[in-house]
Amino acid sequence: MNLELPLDAEKVRALHCGDTVTLSGTIFTGRDEMHIRALEFLDEGRQLPVDLRGGALFHCGPIIVRDHEEWKLVAAGPTTSARMNTLEPRFIEAFRPAVIIGKGGMSLPTVEAMRENGSVYLALTGGAAVLAARGIRKVIGVEWLDLGMPEALWILEADDFGPLTVAIDAHGNSIYENVAMVVKENLPGIMRSLGIE
Amino acid sequence: MSSKQPIPVRVLPFELVERTVVNLLRIAVTSLPRDVMEALEESLEKETSPVAKIQLETILENIRLAEDSGAPMCQDTGIPLFFLRGHYEDGIEEAIRNGVEIATKEIPLRPNAVHPLTRENPGTNIGKEIPHLVWNPSMEEMIEITVMPKGAGSENMSRLAMLKPSDGIPGIKKFVLDSVVEAGGKPCPPTIVGLGIGGSSDIAPQLAKKALMRPLDVENPDPMLAELEHELKEALNATGIGPMGLGGRTTVLGVKIESAHCHTASLPLAVCLQCWAGRRACARIYPDGMVSYSREGFD
Residue B6's pLDDT is what?
A: 64
Residues 6+ positions from B64 with CB-CB distance below 8 Å: none
Chosen for mutation from A59, A136, A190 (greatest number of chain B CBs closer than 10 Å) is: A190
State how far Cα B217 lies from the chain centre. 16
pLDDT in tens, B172-190: 999 999 999 999 999 999 9
Phi then psi dihedrals of residue A164, to 5 deg: -120, 135
A67 inside 8 A of chain B by CB: no
Of A105, A178, A193, Cβ closest to residue B185: A105
Q: In this model, does residue B7 exceed pLDDT 70?
A: no
Q: Do B108 and A129 touch (CB under 8 A)?
A: no
Residue B10's pLDDT is what?
A: 72
ipTM tops the 0.90 cut? yes
Q: Do B246 and A130 touch (CB under 8 A)?
A: no
* Average pLDDT, integer, range A109-136: 97
Residue B9's pLDDT is what?
A: 72
**CB contacts, 8 Å: A125 with chain B:** 54-55, 58-59, 62, 243-244
CATH of A2-193, one of 3.20.20.10, 3.20.130.10, 3.40.50.300, 3.40.50.150: 3.20.130.10
Chosen for mutation from B29, B76, B176, B232 (greatest number of chain A CBs closer than 10 Å) is: B76
Q: In this model, does residue B1 exceed pLDDT 60?
A: no
Q: Do A62 and B75 touch (CB under 8 A)?
A: yes
Task: Label residue A33 by pLDDT band (50, 70, 90).
Answer: very high
Q: In this model, does residue B139 exceed pLDDT 80?
A: yes
A36 inside 8 A of chain B by CB: no
Q: In this model, does residue B8 exceed pLDDT 70?
A: no
* Average pLDDT, integer, range B272-288: 96
CA atoms in the 13 A half-sphere facing the CB of B173: 23
Query: For chain A, which residues make up each domain, given as ranges?
Result: 2-193
Of A79, A167, A195, Cβ closest to residue B153: A79
Query: A128-166: b or e for each residue (b if 16 or more CB lie within 10 Å)?
Result: bbbbbbbbbeebeebbbeebbbbbbbbbbebeebbbbbb
Higher pLDDT, B298 or B44: B44
B66 inside 8 A of chain A by CB: yes
Q: Do B51 and A165 touch (CB under 8 A)?
A: yes
Q: In this model, does residue A95 exceed pLDDT 90?
A: yes
Q: Are A130 and B69 in contact (CB under 8 A)?
A: yes
- Average confidence score pLDDT of chain B: 95
Task: Label residue A165 by pLDDT band (50, 70, 90).
Answer: very high
Task: Label residue B3 by pLDDT band (50, 70, 90).
Answer: low
Phi then psi dihedrals of residue A196, to 5 deg: -125, 40
Task: Tell me how far apart the alpha carbons of residues B57 and B186 are, in angstroms, rounded to a whole number.
Answer: 19
Nearest-Cα residue of chain A relative to residue B170: A196
If you count residue pairs, one on A and one on B, with CB atoms under 8 Å apart, how many are there? Answer: 180
Q: Do A126 and B275 touch (CB under 8 A)?
A: yes
Q: In this model, does residue B2 exceed pLDDT 80?
A: no
Residues 6+ positions from A128 with CB-CB distance below 8 Å: A77, B58, B59, B61, B62, B73, B74
Cβ within 8 Å of A, B 177-216: 177, 181, 184-186, 188
Q: Do A194 and B156 touch (CB under 8 A)?
A: no
Cβ within 8 Å of B, A 109-138: 123, 125-131, 133-134
Q: In this model, does residue A143 exceed pLDDT 60?
A: yes
Task: Label residue A84 by pLDDT band (50, 70, 90).
Answer: very high
Q: Give the predicted TM-score (pTM) of the model.
A: 0.94
Q: What percent of chain B has pLDDT over 90?
A: 91
pLDDT in tens, B230-254: 999 999 999 999 999 999 999 999 9
- Average confidence score pLDDT of chain A: 97
Q: Based on the residue annotation, tell me whether A59 is a catalytic residue of this protein.
A: no
Alpha-carbon Rg for chain A, nearest whole angstrom, is 17
Task: Label residue A188 by pLDDT band (50, 70, 90).
Answer: very high
Task: Label residue A175 by pLDDT band (50, 70, 90).
Answer: very high
Query: In chain A, which ranges are continuous DSSP H helix?
Result: 9-13, 32-43, 88-95, 108-117, 129-134, 175-194
B108 inside 8 A of chain A by CB: yes
Q: Is the dihedral of CA A66, A72, A75, A76 positive or negative?
A: positive
Cβ within 8 Å of B, A 133-162: 133-134, 147-151
Task: Label residue B141 by pLDDT band (50, 70, 90).
Answer: confident
* Average pLDDT, integer, range B150-167: 97
